[in-house]
């Protein structure tokens, strides 16, 4: 499973007022896609993500895999799980291409800590 | 994309107006304002952190002259701010470089205006300053601190910027900022001797932009809205025109807030006024965010992307925000 991780050099913040406004519009079935709610600074350039991008971005902690992120985002927006996962992966591949995240493969069993109880590190 | 930032991305803070140099172009040397106490400075950090400001850049005087620089920076970094500073480098020895790293500086900019030592020293009006700046840059890199080189483009160096870029690369800088000359403060008094003509600015950018676009070893940044005239706006530009009051604000040594260091118009005080109200409610900022075309900008096809160019230059030259940028080379 793919586990996305943010590039630590990307500085970002959620624009709280705009985030709330975009959610308000989403709940009223109004257009929210063109509202920037999360600001990122990357190598001197400044960018913004919309509500869906922001909900994905804020779940990238190096632990959550794409399936978990997709399930949570899909539930937020009331989307089908399979379609959401494809869309989330497309988004992540796009921002990985810009160097904002890395996408790492992890086995289904998950990766364990690099030590053994009672053993020598 | 509809953009509305909850607070500035960057706050430039003149933590001191004191300086051990007397540069010909300095915008703050004529500012007699007092500086905030250490306790007040910590409160400034609290205000900025509470408003989720991302970057805090110390500029104006020489930041290393402030005795509380390192504890202040440790506090700011601990509150989540990415702290940077611009320095002339003269006070950075190996011990200072270590302290800068330990304090948590995100990046440090060293001012170097020419790859020719005598030219730099004359511009900074300080013999030996080139050598000290280069030594500081090397010490910062040895200490593992991300480095930028900061240069003011003007009469003394506009034909020699390629050598500056080479020097910055050799020093290990990740970025060289080729700042355009501002005729504020001492820069206004020395405008005739230092500023380029509009045609010289055009020729400078026509030579420098292709280098920026081709260069792989270092980022070359201009931060000049007039680049729109060449269709050469910098990548990742979220707003049109000047960034002042849209992405950034300036805090003077005494705590007064202005749209930028080069626009001496006070719009509030960081410790006496509500920072959010200043950011969202200032009539001056409202004006800067919605400039009207005037003079030769009226009907100009480039206005929608340059928005009249640099507001600070227009204000310094003509006393109004909407006047055309005096560096603009488009014919009347």
Judged by CB atoms closer than 8 Å, whether chains meet at B54 and A16 is answered as no
- CA-nearest of B7, B319, B313 to B183 is B313
pLDDT of residue B22: 81
Q: Enter the tokens of residue A47.
A: 């960018």
Q: B234 CA to chain A: closest CA distance, Å?
A: 8
Residue A37 contacts residue A14 (beta carbons within 8 Å): yes
Residues of A in contact with B233 (CB under 8 A): none
CA A71 to chain CA centroid, nearest Å: 12
pTM to 2 decimals? 0.91
| Degrees, nearest 5: CA angle A20-A24-A28 | 170
The torsion angles phi and psi of B178, rounded to 5 degrees, stand at -95, 85
pLDDT band with cut points at 50, 70 and 90 for residue A120: very low
Contacts of A61 (CB under 8 A, 6+ apart): A5, A6
| Collapsed DSSP state (helix, strand, coil) of residue B323 | coil
The torsion angles phi and psi of A6, rounded to 5 degrees, stand at -65, 145
- The Cα–Cα gap between B170 and B218 comes to 10
The torsion angles phi and psi of A17, rounded to 5 degrees, stand at -65, -45
| Degrees, nearest 5: CA angle B245-B250-B251 | 140
pLDDT band with cut points at 50, 70 and 90 for residue A116: very low
Convert the pLDDT of each residue in B313-327 to its tens digit. Answer: 999 999 999 999 999
What is the C-alpha radius of gyration for chain B, rounded to an integer number of angstroms? Answer: 19
- 10 Å Cβ neighbour count for B172? 15
In angstroms, the first-to-last Cα distance of chain B is 33
Residues of B in contact with A41 (CB under 8 A): 9, 54-55
Q: B127 CA to chain A: closest CA distance, Å?
A: 33
Residue A50 contacts residue A77 (beta carbons within 8 Å): no
- Nearest-CB residue to A17 (from B3, B6, B236): B6
Residues of A in contact with B5 (CB under 8 A): 15, 39
Q: A4 CA to chain B: closest CA distance, Å?
A: 23
Q: Enter the tokens of residue B305.
A: 């992307």
How do the domains of chain A map onto residue ranges? 2-115
Judged by CB atoms closer than 8 Å, whether chains meet at A11 and B55 is answered as yes
Q: At what angle do helices B94-103 and B129-142 cross, to 10 degrees?
A: 50
- The Cα–Cα gap between B295 and B287 comes to 17
Convert the pLDDT of each residue in B75-96 to its tens digit. Answer: 999 999 999 999 999 999 999 9
Residues of B in contact with A35 (CB under 8 A): 1-2
- The Cα–Cα gap between B224 and B215 comes to 19
Judged by CB atoms closer than 8 Å, whether chains meet at B238 and A15 is answered as no
Q: Enter the tokens of residue B157.
A: 């160096």
The torsion angles phi and psi of A34, rounded to 5 degrees, stand at -95, 10
Confirm or reject contact between A36 and chain B (CB < 8 A): yes
Q: B192 CA to chain A: closest CA distance, Å?
A: 32
CATH for A2-115, options being 3.40.50.970, 3.90.930.60, 3.30.160.40, 3.30.450.20: 3.90.930.60
Residues of A in contact with B107 (CB under 8 A): none
Residue A92 contacts residue A4 (beta carbons within 8 Å): yes
Find the closest chain B residue to A33 by CA distance.
B1
Name which residue leads in pLDDT, B138 or A1.
B138
Confirm or reject contact between A46 and chain B (CB < 8 A): yes
For B15-70, the DSSP string reads S----S---TT-SSTT--PPPPPHHHHHHHHHHHHHTT--EEEE-SS-GGG-TTHH
Q: B168 CA to chain A: closest CA distance, Å?
A: 17
Confirm or reject contact between B175 and chain A (CB < 8 A): yes
What number of C-beta contacts closer than 8 Å exist between A and B?
Answer: 54
- ipTM of model over 0.95: no
Judged by CB atoms closer than 8 Å, whether chains meet at A43 and B219 is answered as yes
Whether A113 has a pLDDT exceeding 60, the answer reads no
Q: B198 CA to chain A: closest CA distance, Å?
A: 27
Find the closest chain B residue to A35 by CA distance.
B2
Whether B49 has a pLDDT exceeding 60, the answer reads yes
Convert the pLDDT of each residue in A86-104 to its tens digit. Answer: 999 999 999 999 999 999 9
Residues of A in contact with B238 (CB under 8 A): 39, 46-48
Residue B231 bridge partners (DSSP): none
What is the C-alpha radius of gyration for chain A, rounded to an integer number of angstroms? Answer: 16
């Amino acid at each position: 499973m793919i586990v996305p991780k943010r590039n630590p050099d990307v500085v970002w913040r959620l624009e709280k007022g705009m985030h709330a406004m975009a959610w308000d519009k989403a709940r009223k079935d109004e257009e929210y896609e063109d509202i920037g709610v999360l600001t990122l600074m990357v190598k001197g350039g400044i960018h913004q993500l919309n509500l869906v991008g922001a909900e994905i971005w804020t779940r990238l902690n190096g632990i959550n895999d794409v399936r978990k992120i997709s399930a949570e985002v899909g539930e937020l927006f009331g989307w089908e799980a399979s379609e959401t996962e494809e869309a989330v992966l497309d988004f992540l591949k796009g921002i990985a291409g810009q160097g904002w995240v890395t996408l790492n493969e992890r086995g289904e069993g998950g990766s364990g800590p690099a030590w053994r109880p009672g053993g020598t590190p | 994309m509809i953009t509305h930032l909850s607070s500035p991305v960057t706050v430039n803070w003149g933590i001191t107006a004191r300086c051990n140099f007397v540069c010909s172009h300095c915008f703050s040397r004529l500012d007699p304002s007092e500086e905030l106490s250490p306790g007040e400075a910590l409160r400034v950090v609290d205000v900025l952190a509470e408003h989720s400001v991302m970057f805090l850049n110390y500029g104006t005087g020489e930041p290393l002259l402030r005795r509380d620089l390192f504890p202040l920076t440790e506090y700011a970094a601990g509150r989540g701010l990415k702290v940077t500073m611009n320095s002339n480098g003269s006070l950075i020895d190996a011990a200072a470089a270590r302290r800068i790293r330990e304090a948590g500086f995100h990046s440090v900019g060293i001012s170097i205006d020419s790859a020719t030592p005598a030219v730099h020293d004359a511009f900074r009006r300080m013999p030996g300053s080139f050598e000290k700046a280069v030594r500081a840059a090397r010490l910062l890199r040895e200490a593992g601190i991300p480095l930028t080189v900061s240069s003011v483009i003007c009469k003394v160096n506009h034909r020699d910027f390629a050598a500056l870029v080479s020097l910055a690369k050799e020093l290990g800088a990740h970025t060289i900022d080729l700042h355009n000359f501002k005729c504020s403060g001492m820069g206004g008094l020395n405008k005739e001797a230092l500023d380029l003509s509009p045609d010289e600015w055009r020729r400078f950018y026509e030579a420098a932009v292709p280098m920026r676009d081709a260069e792989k070893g270092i980022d070359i940044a201009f931060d000049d809205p007039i680049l729109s005239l060449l269709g050469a706006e910098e990548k990742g530009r979220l707003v049109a025109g000047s960034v002042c009051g849209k992405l950034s604000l300036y805090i003077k040594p005494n705590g007064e807030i202005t749209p930028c260091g080069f626009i001496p118009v006070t719009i509030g005080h960081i410790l006496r006024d509500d920072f959010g109200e200043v950011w969202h409610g200032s009539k001056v900022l409202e004006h800067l965010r919605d400039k009207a075309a005037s003079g030769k900008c009226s009907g100009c096809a480039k206005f929608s992307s340059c928005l009249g160019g640099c507001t600070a230059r227009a204000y310094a030259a003509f006393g109004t925000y909407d006047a055309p940028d005096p560096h603009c080379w488009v014919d009347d």
